[in-house]
Chain A
Amino acid sequence: MQKNVTLNKESSPSVDLAQCRSILSNYSSVTHADLIPILQLIQDAYGYLPQDVLIEISAKTHIPLSKIYGVVTFYSQFYLEPRGKYTIKVCTGTACHIKGAPDIKKKISDVLQIQEGETTPDYKFTYTPVACLGTCFLAPVMMIDGRYYGKLTVEKTEAILKGY
């Protein structure tokens, strides 16, 4: 679950810090316990956690940047890279696994020409595996943004992807 981090100033696009500042302004004093909720809100706003924003959080909260990176890299829900317009979460849980999730995963990779954890070059799709979406009775399942798709077959998966 650990992610590799490269701090690379040049390649990170510059971002508008206004949203980040407005989220932080809702907290009069930030404690360590607020860090994960703040990161969740900020990721909702930006779609990922841009480096400049993390630097800003550190400056405003006095939580060392290294600590923030430690947290961000630990949890699989935090992303340091820009994401696609749509996020495809494919269930790799047990029920889905025995009902053909590996074939579904392969199909998605084939259609989108990317591997798990990657984003298409046109930033349309990000493709991530998750261990169980809690709808195991519909196995195999995937979720595209807020929408569930159950009882998938390879054909159905392809058609759904092409529909976006």
Chain B
Amino acid sequence: MKKLESPDELVKFRKSLELKYRSDKIRVLICTTGCRALGAEEVFKAFKAEIKKLSLEDKVEIVDTGCQGLCARAPVLTIEPMGIFYGRVTEMDVTEIVSRTILKGEVIERLCYTDAGKRIPYVRDIPFYSKQEKIVLRNCGEIDPKNIHEYIVRDGYAALSKVLSDMTPEDVIHEMKSSGLRGRGGAGFPTGNKWEFVKKAAGDIKYIICNGDEGDPGAFMDRAVLEGDPHTVIEGMLIGAYAIGARKGIIYVRAEYPIAVEHLKIAIEQAKTLGLLGENILGSQFGLDLEIKMGAGAFVCGEETALIASIEGKRGMPRPRPPFPATNGLWGKPTNINNVETFANVPVIILKGSEFYKAIGTETSKGTKIFALAGNVKNTGLVEVPMGTTLREIVFDIGGGIPGRKKFKAAQMGGPSGGCVPAQHLDLSIDYETVKEVGAIMGSGGLIVMDDSASMVEIARYFMEFCQDESCGKCVPCRIGTKRMLDILTRITKGEGKKEDIDLLRELAEVTKTASLCGLGQTAANPVLSTIRYYINEYEELINKKSSQTSPQQSSAQQS
């Protein structure tokens, strides 16, 4: 394949691909990323073999995709154009799916999604899907992420092309600012403003970094986007690089995500071959060199200054800000860091315009947000909804509620920096501000549902153990504060708590929050404060139980 030398050539190339893809082939989309854990690759191979055996290659295409969202039903597949969704598929089912569904159009009941005892064969009828709005996940689970043609045919790199031919860097920044997009990595900083700072920062050499460290345990949206649609992240970075004037980009990926790294490598190679990365992209003066860096296992490296230190080959410890990376980042140069999901929004904003984008969401929080639904909820998986959707809609309408006759107790949002949202706030419309008001944070979008069997003190202890373990030890308030709070929480869960412990926790929380250097320490006490706020009775019960002499190991404390 030769390089595309101009925006026109890209358009022509897309047209030629459209002809190829507008065939009446049946497409069997099989998630082979996360679903791999339950045998998806074997299912994929069995399909390939069966289609070959029956010489159906001209009629049926087997596509291995990224996450399709309804991961609870893993391994999953969708058959297009009928839009039939099957879950818990095994190798044994393949012959029957081909002979009955693909050849005769019949539905196999036992593989369908069930809702209140009813079988729902079609994607469009499954409430899990019909309530979502897919912008970031628009391609995820629908294309082969290892084939750039499938991305291009769905308007891939059209936003880049538009930017290079019709927009100045200032126009791009203006469009981003007016879209209202805020960073999806946790803090929710307006993306357009960040880009403007970096653009205006003095210096010729600038860097653009994509933060794919995804450290929040329970969040897996960045993994899914990188695995399922790597080009959308690359395109977002290209547009960002053009806007701020960077020529070098780095994608920092968590070490636990080997499939993401593999797919990114393939994507970068293919984009280079087509002249969409490297020098003179689409015949313009603009060029970007993109490199992948793998993390080495440290949660704190998700913090931007620590991440930069890690890329520089140092111990990944945060440093005080200011100076911010925007003026003083990688190798001391102006650097723009955005999260995976943030970048994945960019091509859509450019292509459809900021007006389209800002019509979605709430006053302060525009667009959609992906949530990783996990824990005690029926439809664990990935959901993308407009900002402002209520927790009830996510957990019950989309998530299908709590399994096994249990009741909803709380949703933990924002991981170790977040908090628990109790049942009384189920009708809260979720955006950056409202979540904060009730004591949690949006964070990266991890949403862990807990039923009434969960002990909230134990959850607080769990997160404190996490923070204490991951504290880099650079500053005293975080290092000692998390240790002291963990000791107290452990003793309470063991039934050895003291009357004054709750006050002591509050006091330590305050100090750790105000005196710590980075976000890890500053937010480490959030899970404690939020559980004290809503479940103080559980703390008191455990503390009072002490006098009635329970054996220390009997409580829900789980020591590691």
Contact = CB atoms under 8 A, between A and B. Distances in A.
Interface of A: 1-2, 31-37, 39-40, 70-71, 74-78, 89, 91-95, 97-99, 102, 105, 116, 129-139, 141, 146, 148-151
A74 B256 CA distance: 17
Contacts of A76: 296-298
Contacts of A34: 313
A2 B311 CA distance: 19
Contacts of B38: 138, 150-151
29 contacts: A1-B470, A2-B473, A33-B312, A36-B293, A36-B310, A71-B313, A74-B472, A75-B316, A76-B298, A77-B295, A78-B296, A78-B297, A89-B256, A94-B218, A94-B463, A95-B374, A97-B558, A98-B454, A131-B217, A132-B218, A132-B219, A132-B256, A134-B220, A137-B72, A137-B380, A137-B381, A138-B38, A139-B380, A150-B74
Contacts of B470: 1, 131
Contact of B448 (A94, A131, A135): A94
Interface in B240-290: 254-258
A131 B215 contact: yes
B372 interface: yes
A82 B36 CA distance: 29
A129 B313 contact: no
Interface residues of B, number: 59
A37 B292 CA distance: 10
A136 B37 contact: no
A151 to B, nearest CB: 8
B380 A136 contact: yes
A136 B372 contact: yes
Nearest to A131: B217
B257 A77 contact: no
Nearest to A38: B313
Q: Find the residue from B257, B258, B446 having the highest chain A CB count within 10 A.
A: B446
Nearest to B465: A92
Interface of B: 34, 36-38, 71-72, 74, 214-220, 223, 254-258, 293-299, 310-317, 372-376, 380-381, 412, 415, 446, 448, 450, 454, 459, 462-463, 466, 469-473, 558, 560
Contacts of B374: 94-95, 136-137, 139
A141 B37 contact: yes
B375 A99 contact: yes
A148 B294 CA distance: 20
B355 to A, nearest CB: 35
Nearest to B254: A134
Nearest to B294: A40
A138 to B, nearest CB: 5
B448 A95 contact: yes
A97 B297 contact: no
B36 A148 contact: yes
B313 A139 contact: no
Q: Find the residue from A33, A78, A95 having the highest chain B CB count within 10 A.
A: A95
A2 B472 CA distance: 8
Given A116-B560, A137-B74, A95 B218 contact: yes
Contact of B560 (A36, A70, A102): A102
Contacts of B375: 94-95, 98-99, 136, 139
Given A76-B297, A138-B74, A150-B37, 20 more contacts: A32-B314, A35-B313, A36-B296, A75-B295, A75-B297, A93-B217, A94-B375, A94-B412, A94-B448, A95-B380, A97-B462, A116-B560, A132-B217, A132-B219, A134-B254, A134-B256, A135-B220, A136-B448, A138-B71, A141-B37
A88 to B, nearest CB: 14
A134 B257 contact: yes
B37 A94 contact: no
A95 B217 contact: yes
A33 B560 contact: no
Given A102-B560, A105-B560, A149-B37, A134 B214 contact: yes
Contact of A131 (B296, B299, B459): B299
Contacts of B297: 75-78, 130
A39 B296 CA distance: 10
Given A76-B298, A95-B218, A132-B218, A146 B258 contact: yes
Contacts of B74: 137-138, 150
Given A1-B472, A102-B558, A137 B316 contact: no
Nearest to B258: A146
Contacts of B219: 132, 136
B32 to A, nearest CB: 12
A79 to B, nearest CB: 11
Contacts of A97: 217, 462, 558
A137 to B, nearest CB: 4
A146 B315 CA distance: 27
A36 B459 CA distance: 34
Nearest to A106: B558
A89 B258 CA distance: 14
Contacts of B310: 36
Contact of A136 (B220, B313, B459): B220
Contact of B37 (A32, A37, A148): A148
Contacts of A138: 34, 37-38, 71, 74
A134 B220 CA distance: 5
A135 B412 contact: no
Contact of A71 (B217, B255, B299, B315): B315
Contacts of B316: 74-75
Q: Find the residue from B38, B217, B254, B466 having the highest chain A CB count within 10 A.
A: B217
Contacts of A134: 34, 214, 220, 223, 254, 256-257
